Amino acid sequence: MIALKTKTELARMADACRISAEVLLRAGEVIAAGMTTKELDTILREYILSCGAKPSFLGYGGFKGSACISINDEVIHGIPSKKRVIAEGDIVSVDVGAYYRGYHGDNAYTYRVGEVGKEADALLSVTEEALYRGIAAAQPGNRIGDISAAVQGYVESHGFAVVRQYVGHGVGQELHEDPEVPNFGKAGHGPRLLPGMTIAIEPMVNAKGSGIRVLPDGWTVKTESGSLSAHFEHTVAITTSGPQILTKV
């Protein structure tokens, strides 16, 4: 069931999304070669708590971190670890959410750590632009498939591949709500976008092939090809005047 938020609910949710966005800004300020993913996670958790919020991901389904931190060929759900060291030239995806006053925010960004290769640079640029193409298609009266087709078309036109086993989703009082928001599909299909809907649009894009595999830890998702992967995400509200990015500061 798709929950439509009132103006009051959207205002409260916007606060959670602002905190989530600020956490990503903090990640961009501190991420550096030589840092462990556990150190980065600790910094982000402490920031969330300092805002009077709670990490949305901590304990979710048994997840042990406050953020999913995924490096290079890791697509999503990387578990923070004292043994995982970020290196110069890595691309690092940070997916994080904040729970505040009954609502969640959810967003992700893939960072360049120092100088990265041409393929990595192109992959990140295309994936981020695909996110904004998807958001531009999130107009009231359109359908979920319009978002999906916009993302897929842009990604594939640049020779990259969208991950199909994991999708975007509704966000609100629960971290994951209806509807699902795939990064592939046909325009004009799927649930209609109505004012009051709040959705996480999140392209997950592999440099070579859409295949993925899940590691024995049950969380970390890697590309099947061993190629690089990027992930960008915003929580977006559908309004009468168009899509509004809630996780933007």
State the average pLDDT over residues 88-103. Answer: 98
* Architecture in CATH of 7-245: Alpha-Beta Complex (3.90)
Query: What is the residue whose two structure tokens read 């649930």?
Result: 191
pLDDT for res 111 = 98
Give the mean model confidence (pLDDT) for residues 196-205.
Answer: 98
Contact 84, 92 (CB under 8 A): no
- In angstroms, the Cα distances linking 77 to 129, 135, 154, 218, 248 are 22, 23, 24, 9, 22
Q: What is the mean pLDDT of the chain?
A: 98
Q: Would you list the domain boundaries of the chain?
A: 7-245
* Non-local CB neighbours of 59 within 8 Å, separated by 6+ positions: none
Q: Which residues contact 55 (CB under 8 A, 6 or more apart)?
A: 44, 45, 48, 49, 66, 67, 96, 97, 98, 99
Q: What integer is the mean pLDDT of 72-76?
A: 98
Cα distance between residue 91 and residue 45, in whole Å: 21
pLDDT of residue 249: 85
| pLDDT tens-place string over residues 6-55 | 999 999 999 999 999 999 999 999 999 999 999 999 999 999 999 999 99
- Residue 67 pLDDT: 98
Beta bridge partners of 245: 236
For the segment 97-151, what is each residue's pLDDT rounded down to a tens digit?
999 999 999 999 999 999 999 999 999 999 999 999 999 999 999 999 999 999 9
What pLDDT sits at residue 134? Answer: 98
Q: Which two tokens stand for residue 165?
A: 């086993």
Please indicate, yes or no, whether the overall pTM of this predicted structure exceeds 0.95.
yes
Q: What is the mean pLDDT of residues 197-211?
A: 98
Angle at 40 between CA 80 and CA 246, to 5 degrees: 95
As a whole number, mean pLDDT of residues 219-241 equals 98
3-state secondary structure the chain: CCCCCCHHHHHHHHHHHHHHHHHHHHHHHHCCCCCEHHHHHHHHHHHHHHCCCEECCCCHHHCCCCEEEEECCEEECCCCCCCCECCCCCEEEEEEEEEECCEEEEEEEEEECCCCCHHHHHHHHHHHHHHHHHHHCCCCCCEHHHHHHHHHHHHHHCCCEECCCCCEEECCCCCCEEEEECCCCCCCCCCECCCCCEEEECCEEECCCCCEEECCCCCCEEECCCCCEEECEEEEEEECCEEEECCCC
